[in-house]
Amino acid sequence: MAKEIRTIGVMTSGGDAPGMNAAIRAVARACAYYNVKCIGFYRGYQGMIEGDYCEMNARSVRNIISRGGTILKSARSQEFRDVEGRKKAANNLKKIGVDAMILIGGDGTFRGGEIFSKEYDIPVIGVPGTIDNDIAGTNFTIGYDTALNTVIDAIDKIRDTASSHDRLFFVEVMGRDAGFIALNTGVGAGAEEILIPEEDLGLDRLLESLKRSKRSGKSSSIVVVSEGDKIGKNVYELADYISENLPDYEAKVTVLGHMQRGGSPTCFDRTLASRFCVKAVELLLDGQQNVMVGIINNKITATSFEEGLKEGYGINKELLRISDILST
Ligand code: ATP
């Protein structure tokens, strides 16, 4: 029989994402609603290892739904990757009386959680919170929608200056392994080309495409580049290469960087976080464990970590075709 859950712990881990606060709020409020004690751990797994925590009630999460970042802070914990680190974390949970954990983070956070849960028989539920949207067990992760809107807003502004000066801009966006942000913002902002890790466009084709658009009468262009694109040059080298081979354009580079992680979450991310975390608490109270919550076809779902983290969850390449057609 599943053990009774009287105290639930919550933490945020990995890269921070807008909407993590809305998620923490939803955990604390759902716990209060169901009369369960809620403990917040600071700095993800590192706080569990160090016993750095606070007790949370419905009032301790007031006025945070609209705030970016995470009041519990986030971290990447090297120590938790080792058996010794996880043992310290398990001992602390026992000492504090935490019966189960809700882990808000990305794929790494879930992988760590799965190992930990198996080692110490502690129920965990994963809540996908990452701007990367790179988790198979959900159509959307918390923070992704806000990041898309932040990037679109920035590219729109770059477009204003690009067209005033007849310039070509390479805009680098986040996404080391996944091109979701680049692909969707590229289409949404009307980019000339989109370079993503999943597809190697090749320098020749990029050059050809830019030449073609110049011939068709375009005086300025935007190329959205994912951090991890496979063309083999970093964004500055890329701009230099194009400037050398296409002197008609003055090529400039903007790296959007960490601004993509910040800002007040969109309504979509706040609602998503709220739905995910009420479900996470209810799953634990129902005796379920070692699953991640997700949203698939607008239904909140529970998927095993194994299934939810499976490889090969690809971007929608149809968007590349749409982009090709619309950048004519
Ligand atoms: P993001 O997608 O935003 O980068 P993430 O959750 O994938 O978020 P990671 O740094 O990969 O971020 O993972 C978060 C933490 O999870 C790591 O710092 C580490 O403490 C723990 N972790 C990740 N993988 C493992 C693993 N294989 N074993 C144990 N712990 C792990």
pLDDT tens string 304-327: 999 999 986 678 889 989 998 998
Euclidean distance between CA atoms 249 and 272, whole angstroms: 42
pLDDT band, very low/low/confident/very high, at 247 (cuts 50, 70, 90): confident
Candidate list 16, 132, 145, 269, residue with the active-site label = 132
Phi-psi bin for 35: left (phi > 0), alpha (psi -120 to 50), beta?
Answer: left
pLDDT at 97 over 60: yes
Residues 223, 169: Cα–Cα separation, whole Å: 6
| Protein residue with least CA distance to atom 6, ligand 1 | 106
Ligand 1 binding residues, C-beta < 6 A: 13-15, 45, 76-77, 80-81, 105-109, 111-112, 115, 130, 132
Q: pTM to 2 decimals? A: 0.95
pLDDT at residue 1, rounded to an integer = 54
Measured by CA distance, the residue closest to atom 3 of ligand 1 is: 15
29 pLDDT tier (thresholds 50, 70, 90):
very high
Domains and CATH numbers, the chain: 7-143+265-308 (3.40.50.450), 145-261 (3.40.50.460)
How many A from CA of 198 to the centre of ligand 1? 22
Mean pLDDT of the chain: 94
> Which atom of ligand 1 is found nearest the CA of 16?
3
Nearest CA-CA partner of 223 in 269, 255, 191, 184: 191
Taking alpha carbons only, the member of 135, 106, 147, 142 closest to residue 22 is 142
pLDDT digits (tens, 9 = 90+) for 279-296: 999 999 999 999 999 999
CA distances to 13, 15, 207, 296 from 128, rounded to whole Å, are 10, 11, 38, 13
Q: In the chain, how long is the greatest CA-to-CA distance?
A: 72
**What pLDDT, in 10s, does the model give residues 215-227?**
888 877 899 999 9
Which one of 48, 72, 76, 115 would you pick to mutate in the ligand 1 pocket, going by the greatest count of ligand atoms within 8 A of its CB?
A: 76
Q: Which residue puts its alpha carbon closest to atom 13 of ligand 1?
A: 108
Query: From atom 31 of ligand 1, which residue's Cα is the shortest distance away?
Result: 112
Are the CB atoms for 92 and 48 separated by under 8 Å? yes
Q: φ, ψ for residue 325 (rounded to 5)?
A: -65, -45
Query: Residue 206 Cα, ligand 1 centroid: separation in angstroms?
Result: 35
The average pLDDT across 44-61 equals: 97
Radius of gyration, CA atoms only, the chain: 22
Q: Catalytic annotation on 153?
A: no
pLDDT value of position 232: 78
Residue 186: the pLDDT is 96
Locate the ligand 1 atom nearest the alpha carbon of residue 15 and give its number: 3
- The fraction of the chain above a pLDDT of 90, given in percent, is 80
Helix (H) or strand (E) holding 204: helix 203-215
SS3 state of residue 247: coil
